[in-house]
């Protein structure tokens, strides 16, 4: 069977981590976090704490990637440490809801901001989203190097743009050229622990996507060394960018506006440079969404390819294009389903019901590290710093997210778990047929 070529460098892998995480959420999610909290200090603490927890998850993932430097990432980790069923359910949830839903959602965000420049109704927005999914899928179809180069360039550009925005905004604010945010004189009450927890959950979702670089380990140069470095450096870059952006938001906007804004990045830009800020931020959100989407579209098919090689998905998904050396049929299958979800809007309900379940798999992934550490002769090139405390804290945080979702909306949560659990009879039927 034809193998995928190793062409991704350390720069490509690091850009994939940072670029996939920094999508559209940092430009809208801060208001969700601030709505639960009472002071700017609490807001900054949440963003920093979420970055640290994400780094803990990245370090666990880094050791597993060092131990299993093969195409498939989390699917491989779960398959070889917990059980083949756990790996299959992850791939099942990815294809039918989580990964394709993320693609449809981000493409829709891009299309809505594109409508800022080219007016389009609901049908036009859906058409733009589908066109974007198909175009980026075609880019990745013709070679992983082409897709990774575009993704790397976009990641560098958006991080540079964020740096310019933050430094420029804070400089103007420090020089008194930006009107300081109004305050009401009364000291705000500290947030309750339950509110702090809700803010943490919202923040961790904004850091999502850090694990996706492991899906391409089979196409990465020296993956056992490259991917751990990419994970740690990439998450660190994102944490600095997120903290810096929120410092800017809080420096130029009143706290009440930070809590209630539906377009906080555009509002902050307007406060700094006037009415033209909205157009600039719309362009930045489009570029950021484009960079994140390129990486997400690139990584997903590698899981379906790996499952097909194991006989746990249709064999034709394991096909490698004879010229482009990509999992071409898996890319097409993902593009078709994501386009259907974007075109019908079906991703909204499906995605919100299932997305939290990925944290259940993250907890299992971290538990798999304890299984590996007990195996004789286990000597990976990278070992998680702070073991066993780091993976234990990450497992606890992952389970808190799952329990919190079930407590907040038990009916929807159970439906989401049911969608994932539907993969179990499929797995046993497939296994029996093998």
Residue range 5-50, pLDDT digits in tens: 888 999 999 999 999 999 877 877 788 898 888 889 999 999 999 9
Report the range of poorest mean pLDDT among 115-124, 151-160, 183-192: 183-192
Largest CA distance in the chain: 71
Q: How confident is the model at residue 197 (pLDDT cuts 50, 70, 90)?
A: confident
Report residue 147's pLDDT band, with 50, 70 and 90 as the boundaries: confident
Q: What is the pLDDT of residues 103-140, one digit of tens each?
A: 998 899 899 888 888 888 889 999 999 999 999 999 99
Residue 185 pLDDT > 60:
no
Q: Which domains does the chain have, with CATH numbers?
A: 10-181+191-433 (1.20.1740.10)
Of 208, 217, 222, nearest in space to 65 by CA = 217
**What pLDDT, on the 0 to 100 scale, is given for residue 176?**
63
pTM: 0.91
User: Is 80 exceeded by the pLDDT of residue 4?
Assistant: yes
DSSP string, 321-372: -TTT-S-HHHHHHHHHHHHHHHHH-THHHHHHHHGGGHHHHHHHHHHHHHHH
CB within 8 A of 329, min separation 6: which ones? 316, 317, 319
Judged against a pLDDT cut of 60, whether residue 396 lies above it is answered with yes
181 pLDDT tier (thresholds 50, 70, 90): low
DSSP string, 18-49: HHHHSSSGGGTHHHHHHTT-SSHHHHHHHHHH
């Amino acid at each position: 069977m034809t193998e995928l070529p190793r062409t991704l460098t350390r720069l490509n892998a690091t850009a994939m981590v940072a670029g996939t995480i920094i999508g559209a959420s940092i430009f809208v999610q801060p208001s969700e976090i601030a709505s639960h909290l009472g002071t700017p200090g609490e807001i900054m603490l949440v963003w920093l704490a979420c970055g640290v927890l994400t780094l803990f998850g990245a370090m666990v993932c880094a050791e597993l990637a060092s131990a299993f430097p093969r195409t498939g990432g989390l699917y491989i980790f779960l398959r070889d440490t917990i059980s083949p069923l756990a790996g299959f359910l992850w791939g099942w949830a990815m294809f039918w809801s989580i990964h394709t839903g993320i693609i449809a959602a981000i493409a829709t965000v891009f299309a809505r901001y594109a409508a800022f420049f080219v007016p389009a109704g609901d049908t036009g927005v859906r058409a733009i989203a589908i066109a974007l999914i198909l175009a980026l899928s075609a880019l990745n179809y013709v070679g992983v190097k082409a897709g990774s180069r575009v993704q790397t360039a976009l990641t560098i550009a958006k991080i540079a743009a964020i740096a310019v925005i933050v430094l420029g905004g804070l400089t103007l604010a420090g020089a008194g050229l930006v009107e300081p945010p109004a305050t009401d004189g009364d000291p705000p009450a500290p947030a309750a622990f339950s509110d702090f927890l809700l803010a943490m959950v919202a923040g961790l979702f904004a850091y999502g996507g850090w694990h996706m670089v492991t899906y391409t380990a089979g196409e990465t140069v020296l993956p056992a060394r490259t991917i751990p470095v990419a994970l740690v450096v990439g998450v660190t870059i994102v944490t600095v960018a997120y903290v810096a952006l929120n410092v800017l938001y809080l420096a130029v906007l009143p706290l009440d506006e930070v809590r209630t804004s539906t377009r906080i990045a555009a509002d902050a830009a307007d406060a700094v440079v006037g009415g033209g800020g909205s157009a600039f931020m719309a362009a930045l959100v489009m570029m950021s969404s484009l960079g994140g989407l390129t990486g997400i579209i690139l990584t997903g098919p590698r899981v379906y390819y790996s499952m097909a090689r194991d006989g746990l998905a249709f064999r034709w998904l394991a096909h490698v294009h004879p010229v482009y050396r990509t999992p071409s049929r898996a890319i097409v299958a993902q593009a078709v389903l994501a386009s259907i979800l974007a075109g019908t809007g079906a991703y909204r309900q499906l995605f919100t019901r299932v997305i939290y379940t990925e944290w259940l798999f993250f907890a299992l992934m971290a538990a798999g590290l304890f299984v590996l550490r007990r195996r004789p002769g286990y000597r990976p090139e990278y070992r998680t710093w702070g073991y066993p405390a780091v993976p234990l804290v990450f497992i606890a945080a992952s389970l808190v997210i799952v329990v919190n979702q079930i407590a907040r909306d038990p009916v929807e949560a159970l439906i989401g778990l049911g969608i994932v659990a539907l993969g179990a009879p499929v797995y046993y039927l497939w296994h029996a047929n093998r």
